[in-house]
Amino acid sequence: MKIISGIATLGAVLFVASTAFAADPPDLVGTWKATGEAHASVRLGDGNEHHTEYDDPSFGTPEHAWTIVIKEQQGRGFHGVAQSPKGLEEEIVGVVSFDAEHLIMAGDEAGLFGEVLGDKIEFCFQDHEDDRAGVACFIAAKQ
């Protein structure tokens, strides 16, 4: 009897564990804009088409937050563009983690990640080239 009880318990644990990692991904398609409620950024180094040169560390403001536009999503995978405050675009690709709470993204010059916060997402990026570095995080809501 103990063997049957142990097998039943193991089966229940495996079922719960498999469903815990199978959360449905959120619908990301659309335009995500910074809400202004939370923003942090700092840059250092050479300029590029998105910003000027910073000889000393420069701290950004919410107006410097990028807009994320997700054009298509298939299951956990998605692609779109990141739009700079100047209106320039960078292609991005990404996936939603199996817990459906985290995003991993990549662009031409930066790595991005995010965390789903209910109906908002905290987007963060890190830009690290030979001549410059920058990091930023901001809360965004779907428009």
Q: Is 9 helix (H, G, I), strand (E, B) or coil?
A: helix
In the prediction, which pLDDT does 31 show?
98
Average pLDDT, whole number, for the chain? 85
In the prediction, which pLDDT does 37 show?
85
Q: Of 41-55, 69-83, 97-111, 118-132, give the range with the top mean pLDDT.
A: 69-83
In the prediction, which pLDDT does 28 show?
98
Residue 108 — pLDDT band, cuts 50, 70, 90?
Answer: confident
d(CA 104, CA 123) in angstroms, rounded, equals 10
Answer yes or no: are the C-beta atoms of 17 and 10 closer than 8 Å: no
Per residue in 37-79, pLDDT (tens digit) is 889 988 888 766 666 777 788 888 888 899 999 999 999 999 9
Residue 99 — pLDDT band, cuts 50, 70, 90?
Answer: very high
In the prediction, which pLDDT does 1 show?
53
Report, as an integer, the average pLDDT of 73-87. 95
Domains identified in the chain and CATH numbers: 26-142 (2.40.160.90)
**Residue 91 phi, psi dihedral angles, 5° rounding:** -65, 140
Per residue in 1-23, pLDDT (tens digit) is 555 555 545 455 455 555 456 69
Report, as an integer, the average pLDDT of 97-114. 94
Q: What is the pTM of this model?
A: 0.79
